[in-house]
Amino acid sequence: MPTPTDRVRRAERSRIRVMFDLAERHDGDLVRLEVGEPDFDTPEHVIDAAASAARGGATHYTSNAGLPECRRAISDTLATEYGVEHDPDEIVVTVGGMEALHLAVLATVSPGEELIVPGPTWPNYETQATLADGTFREVPMPAETGFALDADRVIDAMSDDTAAVVLTTPSNPTGRVFDRDECRAVVEAAADHDAYVIADEVYLGLTYDGPAEGIAAYTGGPDHVLTVGSCSKRYAMTGWRLGWLAGDPDVIDEVATVRESTTACASSVAQHAAIAALTGPQEPFAEMYRAFEERRDLVMDRIDAIDGLSAPRPEGAFYAFLDPGIDAPAIDVAKFLLREHGVVLAPGDGFGDTAPGRLRLSFANSVDRLEEGFDRIEAGLAEF
């Protein structure tokens, strides 16, 4: 009997999924705060544009790198919203930020080389390093500073084996926006090691307390910074699967060739939807942004009011990384909260080894459901 390769078998199933699967099997009313996607539907004007593009014949393959109009729209958005300058031919349109990250890791990490990520970390980078036959190294950031980026720790971990460093800002799961000087120091050190920095900026449009600047913008757009973005979170378009990778045109050319054998191109219909989202009316997205900001404030008020509970104030994205102040594995706390109190959170060990006692709460949910969720969390933690 043939068996799948080690490469495929080594790829771990995300531990976040455990809670998702338990929730799916649970009978009764649950407040689902483990889910990492906007609760809003894609705005009408985007759906209309995609439908009329499909009716008008946009139902064929596009070039590997994507439609010129879509690359142009991404190029303009990167420049005007995030200060990141890339010509359209320095951009490949991808199947979500996920494919952009996968391509970036494949293009930068050779077998045996290392991908470094500050922890806590979104789990998929590890799988992507595994699929590239590379090694994954999580470098823990300090809990005392709310997991702010500490460049010295990342730089100390770098060696000649380091091929790339991922900087996720705003961060999933902590909601931290990394400090410019710390990011700059990592970018400079990466250059010294001939390593790449992969800037995962899929949440950059959801930055609350300061300008939403891309890492490439304030580091002068060096060739070894690859920028990943997506329509998923900012435009409530997770299901369209539309993202991008921007950077050195040599890398972009290579990845556009490689993806010929995997996805070939992003969906033509989704590319038309992206053009409408990026270039059309922005008010529906501004409204969502304001709702996330309001929920962020509500979430912090509720956390502050619960004895023993704390979290770094989310500066971006829609996650709060809770410290329940309980000396028990977060998975046990999460299962208890689900089973006995009907509220679902993602345990910290789903985000690497840095903070296994934490719980990630997604505030991509209505104010009413968040209030109800916090009532249940409060009752549950008091009883645990």
Query: Which residues of this protein are in contact with ligand PLP, per CB under 6 A?
Result: 36, 96-98, 122, 168, 172, 200, 202, 230, 232, 238, 243
Q: Residue 379 CB, nearest distance to ligand PLP (Å)?
A: 29
Identify which of residues 150 and 200 has a Cβ nearer to ligand PLP in the complex: 200
Q: Residue 307 CB, nearest distance to ligand PLP (Å)?
A: 30
Identify which of residues 38 and 43 has a Cβ nearer to ligand PLP in the complex: 38
Please enumerate in sequence order all residues whose Cβ is within 8 A of that of 166, keeping only pairs 6 or more positions apart, or say none: 101, 115, 116, 117, 121, 125, 197, 198, 200
* Most distant CA pair in the chain, distance: 59
Contact 228, 204 (CB under 8 A): no
**Distance from C-alpha of 137 to C-alpha of 373, rounded to nearest angstrom:** 34
Please enumerate in sequence order all residues whose Cβ is within 8 A of that of 226, keeping only pairs 6 or more positions apart, or say none: 104, 108, 196, 197, 198, 199, 245, 246, 247, 248, 251
Q: Residue 2 CB, nearest distance to ligand PLP (Å)?
A: 31
Identify which of residues 137 and 241 has a Cβ nearer to ligand PLP in the complex: 241
Q: Residue 229 CB, nearest distance to ligand PLP (Å)?
A: 8
CB atoms within 10 A of CB 94: 29
Identify which of residues 309 and 346 has a Cβ nearer to ligand PLP in the complex: 346
Q: Residue 215 CB, nearest distance to ligand PLP (Å)?
A: 14
The residue whose Cβ lies closest to ligand PLP is: 96
Identify which of residues 236 and 251 has a Cβ nearer to ligand PLP in the complex: 236
Write down the residue that tokens 């991509």 correspond to: 364
Identify which of residues 62 and 168 has a Cβ nearer to ligand PLP in the complex: 168
Q: Residue 382 CB, nearest distance to ligand PLP (Å)?
A: 31
CB atoms within 10 A of CB 283: 10
- Nearest CA among 161, 206, 133 for reference residue 364: 206
